Amino acid sequence: MNTRTIQEEIKAIFLDWPIWFMLGTQDIKLRYRCSSIGPFWLTINMAVTIFCMSFLYGHLFRINTIEYLPYLTSGIIGWTFISSLILEGSNAFIEAESYIKNQDLFTSLFMMRLFLRNVIIFAHNLIVFIPIMFLCHIGLSWNILLLLPALVIIGVNAIVWGTLLSMMTTRYRDFSQITNSLMQIVFFLTPIIWTPALLPERFQWITVYNPFNQFLNLIRDPLLNHAFNGQTLMMVLLTSVIGFSLYNYFLNQYKSRIVFWL
C-alpha cells in the first residue's frame, strides 16, 4: 500500500491553505458580486422555504409547530449543506479543469475549496435557526459546541467521498446525472421533513442504516441541544473507514490519469 500520496494530500491541506482559502472565498464573491446584500440572499431564501414547509407539513403530519419547526429547520439546513457537498463534489475536478491542466496541484485543495465554500453558505443559513431557537425555547448548552467536531468529520468525508465521486464523474460524465437522481431519492428516504416516529416499527431500519441520516444527525443533534448517540457515531465511523479505504486505493491507482480524463 502506497501511503506517500495520501500523506502528501493531507500535508497539502495545511501547507497550501492560502490556495484553497482564496479559491473558496473567491467563489462566493463571484457568485454574488452584483448583489446588494450578497450571500444573505441565501438566508432569506432559506427562511422563506422553511416557513412555507413548516406550515404545510406541520398540518399534514399534525405535529405541534413548537416541536416541528426546529426539527425541520435543522434538517433542511443540514441536508442543504451535505447534499451540496456531494453534488458539487462530483464535479470538483471538472470545475477546476484549468488549474489541473496547468499546475501540478493536489486534489485535496479542490475539495477544501468546495468544503470552505459550503461552510460559508452553511453559516449564512444557520442564521435562520437563531430566532427559532429562542421562539421554540430550545435550551442553549455546551452541546452546541459539538458542531465543531461535526464539521471536521463531515469535512474529512467531503474530501474522501468527494474525491471518489469527482474521479468517477471526470472519467464517466454521465455519472453526475446518476448522482443527482440518487440524491433526490435519498431526500425522501431520509428524515428531513418527516420524523422517524411516523414510520412503522418494521421500517425503522430505513433511518437506522441510512448513513445520510446519521451524518445529518451530526448537525441536527447539537442544534436541538442533544448529544451524539452511539448509533450515529458507529455508522459515521463505518462510513468514514470504508470511504478512506476506497480513497486510498483509487487515488494511488488513478490520480495521475485525472488530467487526461479532463
What is the residue extent of each domain of the chain? 40-260
Q: List the end-to-end C-alpha distance of the chain, in Å, as a whole number.
A: 27
pTM of the model: 0.93
pLDDT in tens, 132-142: 998 888 888 89
| 52: enclosing H helix or E strand | helix 40-61
Q: For residue 197, is pLDDT > 50?
A: yes
Joined together, the cell numbers standing for residue 57 give: 407539513
Side chain identity at residue 55, one-letter code = F
Ramachandran angles phi, psi of 207, nearest 5°: -90, -35
CA distances (Å), origin 131, targets 67, 110, 126, 201? 14, 34, 10, 34
Q: What is residue 89's predicted lDDT score, i.e. its pLDDT? A: 94
Percent of all residues in the chain with a pLDDT value above 70, rounded to a whole number: 98
pLDDT in tens, 153-164: 999 999 999 999
Q: What is the dihedral of CA 177, 181, 183, 184, to 10 degrees?
A: 140
In the three-class reduction of DSSP (H, G, I as helix; E, B as strand; rest coil), residue 163 is classed as helix
